[in-house]
Amino acid sequence: MPRRRPYGRSLWNQIKGGPSARTSLQSSDPMLGVTGSGIEDILNGLAALMWPVVVITAIIIFTPEIRGFLRRIRMAKMFGGRVVFDKDLDKLQSGATAFEATPIPTVIPVEPEPVVVAAEASIVAGFTATAVGTAYSPTVTVSGDQLESEIEVVLGVAAMSPKAGLIQLSSDLERTTRRIIAITGHIGEMRSGASLRELAEILERVTTLPRGSLDVFGTLAQVRNEIVHGSTAVTDDEIMRAIDSGIVLLRSLKAVPLEINVVEHPGVAIYADSSGNDELPGKGVILITTSPGGAVTSRRIFPTLRGHFVAGMQVAWEWDSTNVWGEAWYLDPDTHEFSVAWTSSMKFVGRDLADV
């Protein structure tokens, strides 16, 4: 009687034997009960299910080692950020000291063309000019007391929250920089929402300072962003160091000598003739201009179509070339005599510096 073959072992040998052996499984085997192709599909399915099991098992076995590896990566990253922040903080301090010692040249507003003022009266500094019964009172010019008041506000906020104090100081620096740019006739170069770094680049061109002398403002912006938004752990003492350097920069900016233009009269009638018979469109805005050194004050008039001017308002040196007036006269509100306003001038549109 013939012996029955060990079917299980024979099947395994066929599977293990590779493609040539597995080919024989394609035929039906009465002992197997299913076709060889069905067995191959089952084995392929089992193989597909095995790799997730292997991965999960490896994760469970090596969890402590994986956690340790990730912790080392995180610590290395934090250490690297710490080193960079410390270098930036030192760079900010040294840069602020260097900027404070850099002589800042006098900045005179760019004179637009065409604008030729025929009559310009010089006035002794310290005068009080009146316009429609309103005393001349600049709205933005910063005195030493006002500067100290701004600094006291920053320090008061910092006493409660150093981070909030740094944000307040950054805001003051941005506002001061924007106003210097506006006063010098470069307001058109500023985009809305310009960063402190961008404003510093414009300021560097306006003041003709040596290239790179205002890089410290970019460093301050970088330090501020790391403190406010970064992942580096920063102490209150380190934030106060940044504030101290920022105050040095603020003092230096406030010390820049600038020509100041203040509205004396918001709008007088202008004429094409010296007898006042032919009134021209628009009005003449009369400005009191104080020299950067503060020793010389002059009175000037320019044409405008804007209605936002108010006596005592400090305005930006801003022009619109789409409108140009030829020779014009005006009735002086003080002398009540007709005087030449200008021989040719573009439209003056200087915005209120309080809004810059």
Q: Evaluate whether residue 72 is within a structural domain.
A: no
Is 16 part of any domain?
Answer: no
Indicate the residue among 219, 235, 254 that finishes a domain: 254
Summarised one tens digit per residue, pLDDT across range 213-270 is 788 999 999 999 988 887 678 899 999 999 999 999 999 888 888 899 999 999 999 9
Largest Cα–Cα distance of the chain, in whole Å? 144
In this prediction, residue 79 has a pLDDT band, given cuts at 50, 70 and 90, of very low
Tokens of 275: 């007898």
Domain that holds residue 175: 97-108+141-254
Q: Are residues 217 and 126 in the same domain?
A: no
Same domain (yes/no): 305, 241: no
Mean pLDDT for the stretch of residues 38-63:
68
Could you tell me if residue 101 is inside a domain? yes
Phi and psi of 114, rounded to 5°?
Answer: -90, 135
Highest mean pLDDT among 100-109, 132-141, 215-224: 215-224
Are 167 and 197 within one domain? yes
| pLDDT > 70 fraction of the chain, expressed in percent and rounded | 67
Please count the structural domains in the chain: 2
Which of the four pLDDT bands, split at 50, 70 and 90, describes residue 51? low
* Residues 207 and 282 both lie in one domain: no
Whether 186 and 285 share a structural domain: no
Contact 254, 147 (CB under 8 A): yes
Residue at 63 is within a domain: no
- Classified as helix, coil or strand, 233 is coil
Residues 347 and 223 in one domain: no
- Residue 137 to residue 142: CA distance in whole angstroms: 12
Instruction: Assess if residue 21 is contained within a domain.
Output: no
- Judge if 342 and 319 occupy the same domain: yes
In a shared domain, residues 213 and 315: no
Q: How far is CA 178 from the centre of its chain?
A: 11
> Residue 46 has what pLDDT?
64
**24 in a structural domain:** no
Task: State the pLDDT at residue 36.
Answer: 57
Query: What DSSP element (H or E) covers 323?
Result: strand 319-325
∠ CA(303), CA(309), CA(313), 5° rounding? 120
pLDDT at 102: 80
Q: Does the residue 337 lie in any domain?
A: yes
Q: What is the pLDDT of residues 284-302, one digit of tens each?
A: 999 999 988 889 999 999 9
Which helix (H) or strand (E) element contains residue 210?
none
Residue type, 137: S
Q: Is residue 203 domain-shared with residue 103, that is, in the same domain?
A: yes
Which of 237, 254, 271 terminates a domain? The answer is 254
